Amino acid sequence: MIVLIPDTPIEDPVEAECRRLNIKCFRGNENDVLDRYYQCAKKYNADPIIRLTSDDPFVDWKVVARAINKFNRFQCDYVSNAWPGKETYPEGLDVQIIAFKMLETMWREAESPGEREHVVPYMWKRPYDFHIKHERNRRDYSHYRWTVDYASDLAMVSDVYGHFGDKPFLMEELVNYWFEHPEKARTRANVDRKQGIQRSMSDA
């Protein structure tokens, strides 16, 4: 496990926390996240790369395992459960499995700021150039919002961890919690999914 952060002073506390927890930390370009991923993967000989983003504080190991299994079974370049327009998992339970050869192609050929800020937009515009599979859930939970962009999102996360404590929990357990407490659930009703990426893609 490696934590990737920008090489700016404001991120120094993150690196210090990684050292305290004995977790590898890699620092790279603040705006060129694609370069940050490539340089890290190259340094650590990572292939494939399993990408989990820091604004998504919930991780279900079973969801990650399904994506990895699909990647291996079909010998893919890329597997994701968060392909724009094909989402069936809650926003914030995203996982991407990226072959190093595809990462290197994107790093070498992507030129626009929008393609380099979010790692994979270059591939989104050229899906037929790569071997891609989508990980889909049996039930559509894409209306749930489990990512952190706003203060209200952070309040939701605090409530969830207040309920589950230190015990690991899976997607279905959290869905059941929302079912029992619908007034606490966060949905995408008033928030566009991937709005930050969509803004960046306008620069691609």
Q: What DSSP assignment string belongs to the chain?
A: -EEEEESSGGGHHHHHHHHHHT-EEEEE-SS-HHHHHHHHHHHHT-SSEEE--TT-----HHHHHHHHHHHHHHT-SEEES--TT---SPBT---EEE-HHHHHHHHHH--SHHHHHSSSHHHHT-GGGS-EEE---SS--TTBB---SSHHHHHHHHHHHHHHTTS---HHHHHHHHHH-GGG--BSTTS-TTHHHHHHHTT-
pLDDT value for 191: 65
pLDDT value for 190: 54
pLDDT value for 56: 95
pLDDT value for 194: 55
pLDDT value for 197: 54
pTM attached to this predicted model: 0.90
pLDDT in tens, the chain (204 residues): 999 999 999 999 999 999 999 999 999 999 999 999 999 999 999 999 999 999 999 999 999 999 999 999 999 999 999 988 899 999 999 999 999 999 999 999 999 999 999 899 999 999 999 999 999 999 999 999 999 999 999 999 999 999 999 899 999 999 999 999 998 888 877 565 555 555 544 555
pLDDT value for 62: 97
pLDDT value for 73: 97
pLDDT value for 1: 95
pLDDT value for 58: 95
